[in-house]
Amino acid sequence: MKKRIIASIIALSVTAVGWLFGFEDKPVNSSKVFSEEKLPAKIESIQKEGMSPNHYINAYVVKVTDGDTFEITYKDQQERVRLLCVDTPETVAKGVEVQTYGKEASDFTKEKLLNQSVKLYFDKGLRDKYGRLLAYTVLQDDVFFNAVLIKYGYARVEIVYPNSSLKDYFFSLQEKALEEKIGFWGLPQGKQPFVLDKNGKYIARYRQ
């Protein structure tokens, strides 16, 4: 019994050292620590319903394309939606190989959103250049899904102007995920899907 306890202590010590010096490739399993992240008051204060800037709609998710893109039905219409302020590693982009941690992000979004009713909040800009709705997405239990993707290292922050109302909030979540090496930030730098460019901004590795 004593030998087993000593062996367990040694194993835990080796794992800790591996994380400390970057020897361990396995990232934090963030799906196990999924917790509440509530919508900031600045967006929650939106009270008008409708498909317009600074409004909200209740919709149903019928398809998840990848970690940050999905399709909904709303009043018998089908729309594509791009999550605001987040960018997950690519899995379906034409001409781009599946990025590291892309499948994990896509699977996580499918698990949380597919065949679920959600509430979509719109900022100042309603659509992107591809015609997709740009939205903050809230789950049935009031969890702010965009924030969860950043908080648990499934995505980097990407601000699409003029939708910058929560810019500081999202970057603070990213900084914490970086510091704590959560999700893909826990991978060795050479394996992370995003890298710093000359301006100090994280961009997809394939774009460097």
Contact yes or no for 90/158 (Cβ under 8 A): no
Residue 34 has pLDDT above 80, yes or no: no
- What pTM did the predictor assign? 0.81
For residue 64, what pLDDT is reported?
Answer: 97
Mean pLDDT of 145-149: 96
**DSSP-derived secondary structure letter, 146:** H
Between 81 and 190, the higher pLDDT residue: 81
Mean pLDDT of 10-18: 38
- Lowest-confidence range among 48-62, 114-128, 185-199? 185-199
Residue 208 has pLDDT above 80, yes or no: no
For residue 35, what pLDDT is reported?
Answer: 54
Mean pLDDT of 88-110: 86
Which residues have a Cβ under 8 Å from the Cβ of 77 and sit 6 or more positions away?
none
Predicted confidence band at 207 (pLDDT cuts at 50, 70, 90)?
confident
Q: E strands of 25-169, at which residues? A: 56-66, 69-74, 77-83, 85-87, 117-121, 133-138, 156-158
Question: Which of 37, 36, 68, 43 is closest to 121 using CA atoms?
Answer: 43
Catalytic residue among 37, 79, 104, 132: 132
Mean pLDDT of 73-81: 96
Mean pLDDT of 100-113: 94
Which residues have a Cβ under 8 Å from the Cβ of 22 and sit 6 or more positions away?
188
Catalytic residue among 90, 104, 156, 158: 90
Mean pLDDT of 172-193: 94
For residue 25, what pLDDT is reported?
Answer: 42
Q: Which CATH architecture has domain 27-207?
A: Beta Barrel (2.40)
CA separation for the pair 174, 149 (Å, rounded): 10
Task: List the domain boundaries for the chain.
Answer: 27-207
CA separation for the pair 125, 127 (Å, rounded): 6
Mean pLDDT of 90-111: 85
Catalytic residue among 37, 82, 104, 156: 82
Active site residue 90: yes
Active site residue 82: yes
For residue 195, what pLDDT is reported?
Answer: 87
